[in-house]
Amino acid sequence: MVVIGGGYGGATAAKYIRMWDPSIEVVLVERDASFVSCPISNLVLAGYSSMEEISRGYDGLRRHGVTVVRDEVTAIDTARKSVKLANGADIAYERLIVSPGVDFEFSEVEGYESVMQAGAVLHAWKAGPQTVALRRQLEQMSDGGVYVLSVPMAPYRCPPGPYERASMVAAYFKQAKPRSKVLVLDANADVTSKAGLFKRAWSDLYPGILEYRGSAKVVGVERGAVRTDFETIRGDVLNVVPPHRAGDIAMKSGLITTNNRWCDVDWRTMESKAAKGVHVLGDATLSASGMPKSGSMANNHAKIAAAAVVELLNGRAPQPMKIINTCYSFVSQKEAIRVSSVHEWDGTTLQPVKGAGGVSAARSEAEGTYAWNWARTIWADSLA
Ligand SMILES: Cc1cc2nc3c(=O)[nH]c(=O)nc-3n(C[C@H](O)[C@H](O)[C@H](O)COP(=O)(O)OP(=O)(O)OC[C@H]3O[C@@H](n4cnc5c(N)ncnc54)[C@H](O)[C@@H]3O)c2cc1C
């Protein structure tokens, strides 16, 4: 078994295959030295958490008997059943799991790549060096400055993530630079997740600091300004999140099936509809109805795939699974809100279970405690 990507999907799948059948050899290929979590990374931007707190090594997986290879997969040969690494080596597989996360369509925002190379615009939509750089820009911005956050058209990874980020930056400004402003330019017509709860928090906690504009798609960026179809807006810190698609390796290997962006799968096994013996997980998938692109979902996809792989490699028929999603978002240092859903097999695909799940009644510190507990639990479930 080879697994590409040691994020929420890949790490969980590698661990659970080893736990459920220790006779299966699992090789995980991950290009980064350690796992850095996007969930909670918005708190790092506000100074409420740290990169150390959201990072984990891969020794936990090694203790489960997973062989962790630090390298980049540059090609998948589905006919020969092998993957090629950047160092030139080939690794053969019987079944392959691909959980590469997302990459970005930079060309859809005019000027993005040149301004990004100059360090004048960041997305920080993959936790890591850009998270640190964005925090530094926010710290260096003078009081009275404007932070612009642009949200791409859905689907993108973590529907509530941009609104949590806007809340966290506003919380930091309120405390450290109260004359500053957060301007959210959303390509979507309205807040795409937990809208009522976010808007309530913004009007209660950040009046005069946080401004939200829907149907405001950013189509261009230059040093110190972004452009929508209607106007040019100046900002001191530009945080433009470009449109998303499945990670590059899925694109290069012909796993993308839909809109040139996403990989359709059989939701009983996560097996690709484009390549037999290849299972695609997490953000890279063409989401089933009502299913967000989230770490919580990727972790659940991984369990479907792990169970299916164990059954298939042992000559048994995999059974469909019922899965759950829970996404917490902080709206202040201690208060959070939640959305959850349950998804079950209807004979064709996974569908949300009516009446199951929902959103928090109100923001609260109790939800904030649950959010931290959720994060620590999923990090342990995926990696320890
Ligand atoms: C700001 C923010 C906040 C978020 N908050 C939440 C939250 O509160 N709750 C929640 O559930 N979700 C949240 N998410 C979403 C969550 O981070 C993603 O949905 C999740 O990471 C998806 O898991 P994945 O396995 O698909 O991809 P990832 O976790 O991104 O993992 C992909 C891995 O594959 C590796 N990789 C890619 N290509 C290759 C290759 N060719 N060779 C080797 N390695 C490769 C990458 O280095 C990476 O480690 C948030 C996201 C953001 C940006």
What tens digit of pLDDT does each residue of 3-47 get? 999 999 999 999 999 999 999 999 999 999 999 999 999 999 999
Helix (H) or strand (E) holding 29: strand 27-30
112 Cβ neighbours under 8 A, 6+ residues apart? 106, 121, 221, 240, 242
How many other CB atoms are found less than 10 A from the CB of residue 178?
Answer: 11
How many other CB atoms are found less than 10 A from the CB of residue 86?
Answer: 12
Q: From 3, 4, 8, give the residue whose CB has the most ligand 1 atoms within 8 Å, as the site to mutate.
A: 8
Q: Whole-angstrom Cα distance, residue 360 to residue 367?
A: 8
Q: Whole-angstrom Cα distance, residue 381 to residue 384?
A: 6
Please tell me the residue having the least CA distance from ligand 1 atom 34. 5
pLDDT of residue 276: 96
pTM of full prediction above 0.85: yes
Q: DSSP letter at 309?
A: H
Q: Does the beta carbon of 155 sit less than 6 angstroms from any atom of ligand 1?
A: no
Q: Does the beta carbon of 29 sit less than 6 angstroms from any atom of ligand 1?
A: yes
Using the mean position of ligand 1's atoms as its centre, give its distance from the Cα of residue 5 in Å: 9
Q: Which atom of ligand 1 is nearest to the CA of 41?
A: 1
Please tell me the residue having the least CA distance from ligand 1 atom 53. 125
Please tell me the residue having the least CA distance from ligand 1 atom 19. 294
Q: Which atom of ligand 1 is nearest to the CA of 126?
A: 53
Q: Does the beta carbon of 318 sit less than 6 angstroms from any atom of ligand 1?
A: no
DSSP 327-338: EEEESSSS-EEE
pLDDT of residue 299: 98
pLDDT of residue 55: 98
pLDDT of residue 291: 97
Q: Which atom of ligand 1 is nearest to the CA of 29?
A: 43
* Tens-digit pLDDT profile for residues 207-251: 999 999 999 999 999 999 999 999 999 999 999 999 999 999 999
pLDDT of residue 164: 98
Q: Does the beta carbon of 160 sit less than 6 angstroms from any atom of ligand 1?
A: no
| CA nearest to 174, candidates 196, 202, 133, 213 | 202
Q: Does the beta carbon of 30 sit less than 6 angstroms from any atom of ligand 1?
A: yes
3-state class of 64 per DSSP? coil
How many other CB atoms are found less than 10 A from the CB of residue 43?
Answer: 23
Using the mean position of ligand 1's atoms as its centre, give its distance from the Cα of residue 12 in Å: 12
How many other CB atoms are found less than 10 A from the CB of residue 189?
Answer: 10
Q: Does the beta carbon of 172 sit less than 6 angstroms from any atom of ligand 1?
A: no
Using the mean position of ligand 1's atoms as its centre, give its distance from the Cα of residue 178 in Å: 33
| CA nearest to 267, candidates 245, 297, 310 | 297
With a cut of 50, which residues of the chain have pLDDT below it? none
pLDDT of residue 253: 97
Q: Whole-angstrom Cα distance, residue 82 to residue 104?
A: 26
pLDDT of residue 262: 98
Joined tokens for residue 61 = 């997986």
3-state class of 254 per DSSP? coil
pLDDT of residue 131: 98
242 Cβ neighbours under 8 A, 6+ residues apart? 104, 105, 106, 108, 109, 112, 123, 152
3-state class of 363 per DSSP? coil
Backbone angles phi, psi at 193, to 5 degrees: -150, 140
Q: Whole-angstrom Cα distance, residue 343 to residue 189?
A: 26
Q: Taking a C-beta distance cutoff of 8 angstroms, is the pair 331, 363 a contact?
A: yes
Using the mean position of ligand 1's atoms as its centre, give its distance from the Cα of residue 162 in Å: 15
Please tell me the residue having the least CA distance from ligand 1 atom 29. 7
Q: Does the beta carbon of 298 sit less than 6 angstroms from any atom of ligand 1?
A: yes
